[in-house]
Amino acid sequence: MDTIIEPFRIKVVEPIRMSTRDEREACIREAQFNLFHLHADDVLIDLLTDSGTGAMSGEQWAGIMRGDESYAGSPSYDRFRDQMRAMTGFDGILPTHQGRASERILFELLGGDGLVVPNNAHFDTTRANVEHSGARAVDLRIPEAADPTDRHPFKGNMDVAALERLIDEVGADRIPVVMCTVTNNSGGGQPVSLANLRAIREVCDRHGLRFFLDACRFAENAWFIKPREPGQSERSVREIVREMFDLADGATISAKKDGIVHIGGVLLLRDPELLHRASDALILTEGYVTYGGLAGRDLEAMAQGFEEVLHEDYLAYRIRSIAYLGERLLGHGVPILEPPGGHAIYIDAAAFCPRIPAEKFPGQALAVGLYRLAGIRACEIGSVMFGGEGHAAPPMELVRLAIPRRVYTQSHIDYVVEACAELHATRSELRGLRIVEAPQVLRHFSARFVED
């Protein structure tokens, strides 16, 4: 059989409140055209993020009941640690409440004024944490990543020659860590090849540099490697995942993605001295080393989620369902970032609304239009998220349709396709926006807009 089915049945359902276009018009105005300000009850299909929005399995909920809430030495921590150790090979395993807590601790230890942190593509919180420490965050995408229609199989790869040039230019002593984000969220959820990770490792070894993964979506990355990278098709996802982690000195992980939990994060470290300092920092603000800002039950859910995400029938369904959305949108002439990524489809808003210039936020205009038309909440990843004073213009204007794990069925996705196709047919009616109020840092969360 060729049809790839959802490899689960639905045991519990959460009703969606239907809304009218007039109701949504009032809601988006009330939210001052910022979709983060909408009430979730006023959203029909929520594609704002795939983070913390997945459906947990019966086994994960059973883990919630099993959770042991001892302050220290909880057996729930042991289960979490054993799962992480078996999967990654790391011994230094710290739980945190989410990915950015791992980032905050890492850059508190490694960041600082005058330092430079290269990454294939920093996500917003990673960039903000690097910059908060005083360091400079540099994105080193391969040139193919700048072309939305280029179908490079590993479009998330880092430009390794550019990394070498950066090291020559600023000096290895000013680079506390080289990071690589798998899959690269802000560049389209595109995978990074093992060959690229090995090449980064080799450069880091030659210059005595640390190499860390931002491994939020490591399993989706590994699933892309299996069919696309020469010599990998016979290996299991587990083996590929293990090699990815073996190449790194550490990793920050948000378990809200490939851990399929509602809250949780991990900081992996090989260097005992760094682990010691990170443990102290963890205790100071997150919690003791065996719970790190989480409840014991959350550790149980994470241990089980990190096991389930490696199941190949799950990954086949997951990646195929994202590709289905992407291919159907392309079929309707909707411009997307190609090829479809791991956790989301990114609409190319610059191509979708060519008459709205970057300073009037075409991505935001598109996201607002999609909500008005169909109650779908998407996320701008463009000049709102990455622009502003002191920031270079982002390479692309994108609107991300992030797909929560195991939550929406094919008919939900068909509805999204129909809505995007209709919006595209009427795109000349979309209006640009102006920011009337925004903070300096991470402004997309709270900026307020008016229509131009």
Cβ closer to ligand F0G: 167 or 367? 367
**Closest separation in Å from C-beta 450 to ligand F0G:** 25
**Closest separation in Å from C-beta 220 to ligand F0G:** 11
Q: Are 323 and 341 in contact (CB under 8 A)?
A: no
Distances (CA, A) of 445 to 34, 135, 191, 440: 8, 23, 26, 11
- Contact region with ligand F0G (CB under 6 A), list: 30-38, 121-129, 406-414, 439-447: 121-129
- The DSSP-derived string for 247-299 is T-SEEEEETTTTT--SS-EEEEE--HHHHHHHHHHHHHHT--TTTTTS-HHHH
Phi, psi for residue 315 in degrees, rounded to 5: -65, -35
Cβ closer to ligand F0G: 339 or 342? 342
Mask 182-211, x = binds ligand F0G (CB under 6 A)?
Answer: ---x--------------------------
C-alpha triplet 256, 257, 261: angle, nearest 5°: 40
Distances (CA, A) of 244 to 90, 191, 342, 445: 12, 12, 17, 32
Q: Give the footprint of ligand F0G on residues 226-285 (CB under 6 A).
A: 254, 256, 265
Characterize 271-282 residue by residue with b for buried, 16 or more Cβ atoms within 10 angstroms of its Cβ, and e for exposed: eeebbebbbebb
Cα–Cα distance, 88 to 284 (Å, whole number):
26
User: What one-letter code names the amino acid at 95?
Assistant: P
**Closest separation in Å from C-beta 230 to ligand F0G:** 26
Phi, psi for residue 251 in degrees, rounded to 5: -155, 145
**Closest separation in Å from C-beta 233 to ligand F0G:** 26
Comparing C-alpha atoms, which of 13, 49, 56 is closest to residue 309? 56
Strand boundaries in 56-204, DSSP class E: 92-96, 116-119, 136-139, 178-181
The binder of ligand F0G chosen from 60, 83, 120, 126 (CB under 6 A): 126
Distances (CA, A) of 274 to 94, 137, 248, 249, 265: 12, 21, 14, 11, 18
49 contributes a contact to ligand F0G by CB under 6 A: yes
**Closest separation in Å from C-beta 216 to ligand F0G:** 4
Cβ closer to ligand F0G: 98 or 364? 98
Q: Residue 33 contacts by C-beta under 8 Å, 6 or more apart in sequence?
A: 364, 368, 433, 448, 449, 450, 451
53 contributes a contact to ligand F0G by CB under 6 A: no
The binder of ligand F0G chosen from 34, 51, 83, 364 (CB under 6 A): 51
Mask 65-104, x = binds ligand F0G (CB under 6 A)?
Answer: ---------------------------------xxx----
- Contact region with ligand F0G (CB under 6 A), list: 122-130, 152-160, 228-236, 345-353: 122-130
Q: Give the footprint of ligand F0G on residues 206-225 (CB under 6 A).
A: 214, 216
The binder of ligand F0G chosen from 129, 181, 221, 321 (CB under 6 A): 181
Cβ closer to ligand F0G: 214 or 298? 214
Q: Which residue is nearest to ligand F0G (CB)?
A: 99
The binder of ligand F0G chosen from 77, 90, 107, 123 (CB under 6 A): 123
Report how many residues bind ligand F0G under the rule CB under 6 A: 15
Cβ closer to ligand F0G: 51 or 133? 51
Q: Residue 346 contacts by C-beta under 8 Å, 6 or more apart in sequence?
A: 188, 189, 336, 337, 381, 396, 398, 399, 400, 401
**Closest separation in Å from C-beta 242 to ligand F0G:** 20
Q: Are 53 and 379 in contact (CB under 8 A)?
A: no
133 contributes a contact to ligand F0G by CB under 6 A: no
User: What one-letter code names the amino acid at 49?
Assistant: T
**Closest separation in Å from C-beta 426 to ligand F0G:** 28
Contacts with ligand F0G, residue ranges (CB under 6 A): 49, 51, 98-100, 123, 125-126, 181, 185, 214, 216, 254, 256, 265
